[in-house]
Homo-oligomer: A and B are copies of this chain.
């Protein structure tokens, strides 16, 4: 019988679920708005409902398990959601145990960006590689790391909060409360904020000229139309990302950096600037490391969650001690 896994991507706005085969192909996919305000019991019922519908719609198959990706901070060693900002009530909540009560299959839990890294490693652009750093550049900046053919998890499974490395002493305020984090400079909102401030100062730009909102999308659109300030802003964003990625290259020595998240939809425009920074400023042994676009786009985490279920059953000999 065909082996499949259920992948769940629990987000603050959407719960998504998919039946995924061993090749990482999505066989069926469902989504609904997260009933976040109704609290944990209702959200868990949503997850179970989606899984039931997936299985009811599928051909007979052997389900190896359920992998759940959720926003952090998540102590995946204890299986506990410490305090998910976008999901009220998930405070010190034993998410893994509560899920396991509701499923007949083994349940695995992973921080969302680590799940996305696993997805890209097992079934996406990083397939076959032993070392990659996945960075999602979106409302925030998150990450997941594969090193020496293994997921880097760390204490409480909370490794790879790469958005919160300091890049400017006492710099811009970050949503985490600190100042000067990578996220406070490289995220979509940080990029848009720079654009808003600079557009006001400029007389020549078309950014925001029609009175429309200035967001990442409109700045990239203006850049495509030849707006000089917009192109400057985009080049600066590429430099911010290039500098952050170069730090991560020195820290993890990955085979590649994988870029996902909302801003990766503008990868083609950003990539040359990012790569130029790496080539110029990385140390000699690291200059050839490439930044690549996530292959699974918004499904990296969903497929990665399913991949967790496949991986959980496997045991391999150790080659790195």
Taking a contact as CB atoms under 8 Å apart, the answer to whether B167 and A169 are in contact is yes
User: Is A320 in contact with B150, judged by CB distance below 8 angstroms?
Assistant: yes
Instruction: Name the B residues within 8 Å of A147 (CB-CB).
Output: 147, 152-154, 159
Q: Is A283 an interface residue (CB 8 A)?
A: yes
Given contacts A151-B320, A255-B155, contact A73 B168 (CB under 8 A): no
Contact across chains for A164 and B321 when beta carbons are under 8 A apart: no
- Residue-by-residue, is A295-321 near B (CB-CB < 8 Å gives 1, otherwise 0)? 000000000000000011011111011
Asked whether any CB of chain B lies closer than 8 Å to the CB of A83, the reply is yes
User: Which segment, of A99-107, A195-203, A221-229, A242-250, faces chain B?
Assistant: A242-250
Cα distance A271–B120 when bound, in Å?
40
Chain B nearest CB, measured from A191 CB (Å): 15
A286 on the B face (CB < 8 A): yes
> Pick the contact of A283 from B154, B164, B311, B321 — CB < 8 Å?
B164
Interface status of A251 (Cβ within 8 A of chain B): yes
* CB pair B148 A154 closer than 8 Å: yes
Contacts of A54 in B (CB 8 A): none
- Bound CA–CA A311/B318 (angstroms): 12
Asked if A61 is at the interface (CB within 8 A of a chain B CB), the reply is no
Residues of B within 8 A of A164 (CB): 247, 250, 283
Copies in the complex: 2
Contact B156 A148 (CB under 8 A): no
Instruction: Please report A residues at the B interface, Cβ cutoff 8 Å.
Output: 73, 75, 82-83, 130-131, 147-148, 150-162, 164-169, 176-178, 243-244, 246-248, 250-255, 281, 283-286, 289, 311-312, 314-318, 320-321
Known: A156-B253, A315-B317. 18 other contacts (CB 8 A): A73-B284, A131-B154, A131-B155, A147-B159, A148-B150, A150-B321, A159-B252, A161-B250, A161-B253, A164-B250, A165-B247, A165-B250, A166-B243, A166-B244, A166-B247, A167-B167, A177-B281, A312-B321
23 contacts between A and B (CB under 8 A): A73-B285, A82-B284, A131-B154, A147-B153, A147-B159, A148-B152, A152-B152, A152-B252, A154-B254, A156-B285, A158-B285, A158-B286, A161-B253, A161-B283, A166-B243, A166-B246, A168-B168, A168-B169, A176-B283, A311-B321, A312-B321, A316-B318, A316-B321
The 7 closest A-B pairs by CB, nearest first: A154-B253, A165-B247, A161-B250, A164-B250, A159-B253, A158-B253, A311-B321
